[in-house]
Amino acid sequence: MKKLFILLTGLLVLSCSSDDSKENNNPTPTAFTINAVASSTTVNVDQEFTVTITSDENMTGILYSYDNFVAEAGLFTGFGTSRILKFNLDKVGFNTIYFKATKEGNIYSSVKSVPVTVNRGNAVKVTGLQVVSFSGINTTWDPEYPTTNPNHLADVFFGFNKSTLNSPFEDAYSFRKWYTSSVKQNQGDLTWSFITENLYIQPEKAIRMGLADEDNPPLGQDLMVGPPDYRDFNFSAYTTTKPNTITFSYPEINLEFIVT
């Protein structure tokens, strides 16, 4: 009997923080102003920086957005007249973070924007992955099909998580969804290219990878022989040689993959 589980819990499901609450989608007319000042408007990939929000009036909530409040997140609590928020970004190029605040009476401030340019620095760009082997490769993962039918093989996909700040209102970091691949039906060629995804990461930061067999989504089977249902790796040992491909091997679970 196959053991089913929710696919790579925490790896392939977008996480939500407690700061994602909103009080009102139809704010009242603005009646006060805020200022937003970044500690630096030019940073490198994954570099932490701060934005200080101030007002002449006590703020009861602060909201932020990366798309001028098409989507937003925030926290509603007593902030007083000043609050420092923390960010780290990995989208290379020009970024804008938008802010607004609330005060007593659910009155919203005008919107302030902060431009931030993210440089690549010494970040690695991850552009592809090939799975060479995994535990149970070329064996039956869908026993409803005979071994003469290629549908008995695993339908393979992977996910990358990356450690980021939980929210601008916290100091803590945790692994969050970074990239989820397409599915290679019946194992396919087990090679993925995602050069246009612009996945940049500092070489010392871990990438948390999960590998699974898709089976009646959202159910699937772990190909990492968990727990744990992931493995962590980074590129810190290759900052001098800078190879185009790096092979990672975990013989205890017959796992080997090549990162481009």
Q: What pLDDT digit, counting tens, does each position of 191-220 carry?
A: 999 999 999 999 999 999 999 999 876 668
Q: What's the average model confidence in pLDDT over 13-36?
A: 58
| Rounded distance between C-alpha atoms, residue 216 and residue 178, angstroms | 23
Closest CA to 207 of 171, 179, 181: 179
- What is the pLDDT, as a whole number, of residue 25? 57
Instruction: Tell me the three-class secondary structure of 7-31, residue by residue.
Output: CCCCCCCCCCCCCECCCCCCCCCCC
Output the CA–CA distances (angstroms, integers) from residue 179 to 66, 195, 244, in the order listed. 19, 12, 20
| Rounded distance between C-alpha atoms, residue 222 and residue 224, angstroms | 5
Q: Which residues does residue 224 pair with via DSSP β-bridges, in sequence order? A: none
Average pLDDT, the chain: 90
Among 20-29, 66-75, 180-189, 230-239, the least confident range: 20-29
Going by their DSSP bridges, the two strands 42-44 and 112-119 should be labelled as: parallel
pLDDT of 20 strictly over 80 = no
Closest CA to 122 of 231, 208, 205, 197: 205
- What is the pLDDT, as a whole number, of residue 70? 97
- What is the pLDDT, as a whole number, of residue 215? 85
pLDDT digits 0-9 by tens, 137-174: 999 999 999 999 999 999 999 999 999 999 999 999 99
| Rounded distance between C-alpha atoms, residue 59 and residue 109, angstroms | 9
What pTM was estimated for this model as a whole? 0.84
Output the CA–CA distances (angstroms, integers) from residue 45 to 116, 119, 216, in the order listed. 11, 6, 37
Helix (H, G, I), strand (E, B) or coil at 196: helix
- What is the pLDDT, as a whole number, of residue 220? 81
